[in-house]
Amino acid sequence: MMEIIKTIPLFSQVPSDEFESLLADKQISLRNYAKGATVYNQNDSCETLDVVIAGSFIAYSLSENGSAMTMFEFASGQMLGANLLFGDNHAYPLTIYCITDAQLLHISKEAIAQLLHHYNFAMRFIGAISYNSQKLNRKITMVIQKTLRENLLEYFRQQSILQNSNTISLPISKKQLADYLGVQRPSLFRELKKLKDAGVIHISNRSIQLNYVSYP
Instruction: Give the whole-angstrom CA distance, residue 67 versus residue 27.
Output: 37
Give me the CATH topology for the region 148-210.
Arc Repressor Mutant, subunit A (1.10.10)
Q: What is residue 146's predicted lDDT score, i.e. its pLDDT?
A: 76
Q: What is residue 173's predicted lDDT score, i.e. its pLDDT?
A: 86
Cβ pair 74, 50 in contact under 8 A: no
Contacts of 169 by beta carbon, 8 Å cutoff, 6+ apart? 163, 206, 207, 208
Mean of pLDDT values over 47-53? 94
Q: What is residue 215's predicted lDDT score, i.e. its pLDDT?
A: 58
Cβ pair 180, 158 in contact under 8 A: no
Instruction: Give the whole-angstrom CA distance, residue 94 versus residue 85.
Output: 14
pLDDT at 163 over 90: no
Same fold, 2-145 and 148-210: no
Cβ pair 65, 100 in contact under 8 A: no
Mean of pLDDT values over 201-209? 92
pLDDT at 12 over 90: no
More confidently predicted of 16 and 141: 16
Q: What percent of the chain has pLDDT over 90?
A: 37
pLDDT at 157 over 80: yes
Mean of pLDDT values over 130-148? 76
Determine the residue type at 180: Y
Rg, Å, the chain Cα set: 20
Q: What percent of the chain has pLDDT over 70?
A: 94
Extents of the domains making up the chain: 2-145, 148-210
Contacts of 143 by beta carbon, 8 Å cutoff, 6+ apart? 69, 182
pLDDT at 167 over 80: yes
pLDDT at 67 over 70: no
Mean of pLDDT values over 27-34? 94
Q: What is residue 201's predicted lDDT score, i.e. its pLDDT?
A: 92
pLDDT at 135 over 80: no
CATH of domain 2-145: 2.60.120.10
